[in-house]
């Protein structure tokens, strides 16, 4: 399997504060990677760099053979291929769930409306909220909104899905319904990078675990090894605190 994402010596600063330090990362197609670490460790910033919601200052990021740089046309093409799910859902409140899902396919991928609606309904069925298609985001529960947000990203038929703490803003009883959708997605062969604290989910689907602290990748290991035999002291401490 070929590399689909490649980060080489990526550095990023917010003013003088360095958030990413010499990040090297390779993700193969269909791999699932879970990133964990304490808050402020730069994990969200890292995945936001992959679709250039944040700009890195040094190093190279290559997504699906295209290097991310100043050239905007490329970036929009990449973003159309990289789906993203946010902590705060970020559904468009002025549009129905169905319109949320068809908007980008119609306007960015130039899909005919009818076809876009078929794709949307297929994805809404997949996340089991097809019966809510005509409602507005404000009328849905948090779990339903996050599943709608996942469906919206899937409607662009992305090659890669990024999840930025997708369950952190949810009530406990709604976390499972979102994780179930993500597990289903992982089993379908999607390339996924997930920032999360849900270690149960990580054990179930992740190929690799990445532990970040203070802007650096401290440990990258196969999932089983990561949980059973972590190498760095920092990782051990973190795991002992959250498990």
Residues that bind other proteins (CB under 8 A): 51, 53, 72, 76-77, 79-84, 86, 88, 90-94, 103-104, 107-109, 136, 138-139, 149, 152-153, 156
Nearest distance from C-beta of residue 100 to other proteins, angstroms: 9
CA–centroid distance for 121 within its chain: 22
Angle, CA 128 vertex, CA 165 and CA 190 arms, to 5° = 55
Q: Which is nearer to other proteins, 126 or 135 (CB)?
A: 135
Which residues make beta-bridge pairs with 46? none
Nearest distance from C-beta of residue 169 to other proteins, angstroms: 11
Nearest distance from C-beta of residue 232 to other proteins, angstroms: 32
Bin 40: left if φ > 0, else alpha if -120 < ψ < 50, else beta. left
C-alpha 95/C-alpha 203 separation (Å) is 36
Q: Which is nearer to other proteins, 83 or 215 (CB)?
A: 83
β 32-36/191-195 pair status:
parallel
Which residue's entry shows tokens 């705060």?
88
Q: Which is nearer to other proteins, 141 or 220 (CB)?
A: 141
Nearest distance from C-beta of residue 108 to other proteins, angstroms: 4
- How long, in residues, is the chain? 243
Nearest distance from C-beta of residue 14 to other proteins, angstroms: 15
Q: Which is nearer to other proteins, 30 or 74 (CB)?
A: 74
Q: Which is nearer to other proteins, 51 or 223 (CB)?
A: 51
């Amino acid at each position: 399997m070929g590399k689909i994402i490649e980060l080489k010596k990526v550095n990023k600063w917010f003013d003088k504060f360095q958030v990413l330090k010499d990040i090297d990362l390779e993700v193969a197609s269909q791999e699932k990677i879970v990133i964990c670490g304490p808050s402020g460790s730069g994990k969200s910033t890292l995945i936001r760099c992959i679709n250039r919601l944040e700009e890195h200052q040094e190093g190279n990021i290559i997504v699906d053979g295209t290097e991310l740089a100043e050239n905007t046309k490329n970036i929009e093409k990449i973003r159309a291929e990289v789906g993203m799910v946010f902590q705060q859902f970020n559904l468009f409140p002025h549009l129905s769930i169905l319109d949320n899902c068809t908007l980008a396919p119609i306007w960015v991928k130039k899909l005919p409306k009818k076809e876009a609606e078929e794709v949307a309904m297929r994805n809404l069925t997949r996340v089991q909220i097809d019966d809510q298609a005509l409602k507005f985001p404000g009328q849905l529960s948090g779990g339903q909104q996050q599943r709608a947000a996942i469906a919206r990203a899937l409607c662009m038929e992305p090659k890669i899905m990024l999840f930025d703490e997708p369950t952190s803003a949810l009530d406990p009883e709604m976390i499972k319904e979102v994780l179930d959708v993500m597990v289903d997605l992982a089993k379908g062969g999607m390339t996924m990078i997930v920032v999360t604290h849900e270690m149960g989910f990580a054990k179930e689907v992740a190929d690799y675990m990445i532990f970040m602290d203070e802007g650096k990748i401290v440990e990258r290991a196969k999932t089983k090894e990561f949980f059973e035999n972590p190498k760095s002291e920092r990782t051990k401490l973190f795991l002992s605190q959250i498990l």
